[in-house]
Amino acid sequence: LEAAEMVKLANNTFRDLSFSFANELALLADKYNVNAFELVNAANEGYPRNNIPSPSPGVGGYCLTKDPILFSSTSNGPRNDAVLGFSSRRVNEKAAFYPVDLIKKYAERLQIPVSNLNVLIVGIAFKGIPETTDIRGSVAIDVFNELKGNVKKVFGWDAIIESKGLQAIGFEIAENLQSAIGFVDVVLIMNNHPDNVSSDMYVSSQNRKLLFDGWNQLDKVEVEKIPGLTYATMGYMTP
């Protein structure tokens, strides 16, 4: 029984650790305004000994948020010799709020208060692939709770979660994704479900707009050609 439980904790803690390396790399890349996805792709290219995973705006879900803590603990509390499980959680929780820091940086650039911004969070389920409606441990909801009361309004959209479910959480609801994109000042793409990305995001805006591409699903070059749009991802924002 002990070995079986350790196998489960080993798998999930190792995954959280590998993601935390990519996310710590992204947080370092931010200091130099380097696109962390491009950085990881360059590091992996032609080097089969490593396969660094892609970064992300945090690591959520029901398993990876708790199993590194269980791995680092006994029934009496945290182990004195535990290091890695707690470390991965700290990095991935910090990465979860990276979009919030980007919004603050963007507001400073515009020289307006954060409280003047309307924000749309796209992708509320804790992951996009495989498809799920599960919101347990969702980073998108953590970001929503951080922004609520600090920005003007926070809208929510997910291609496979019904509006009434998002409304119950506290999100403002738009009639459709197109109208929400047109109304807000900031769009945060928080999971990688392909249906959460729309061609409506490639539309010029009279009011300036920040597009945070949390899973590298948009074409940075094309977005940056469009007047009024500022592109951002892990480690990078349009200068």
Q: Report, in this order, helix, strand and coil percent for the chain, each rounded to 5.
A: 45, 15, 40
Give the CA distances from residue 186 to residues 118, 119, 170, in Å, rounded to whole numbers and listed in that order: 6, 5, 18
Name the residues annotated as catalytic. 8, 63
**Residue appearing with tokens 């074409």:** 219
Query: Residue-wise over 59-95: b if at least 16 C-beta within 10 A, else e?
Result: bbbebbbbbbbebbeeeeeeeeeeeebbbbbebbbeb
Q: Identify which of 143, 179, 141 has the alpha carbon closest to the alpha carbon of residue 161.
A: 141
- Taking only Cα atoms into account, the Rg of the chain, rounded to an integer number of angstroms, comes to 18
Distance, CA of 137 to chain centre: 12
Cβ pair 215, 189 in contact under 8 A: yes
Distance CA 95, CA 192 (A): 16
Q: Can you read off the two tokens belonging to residue 204?
A: 């010029």
d(CA 131, CA 160): 8
Q: Do residues 128 and 191 make contact, with C-beta atoms less than 8 angstroms apart?
A: yes
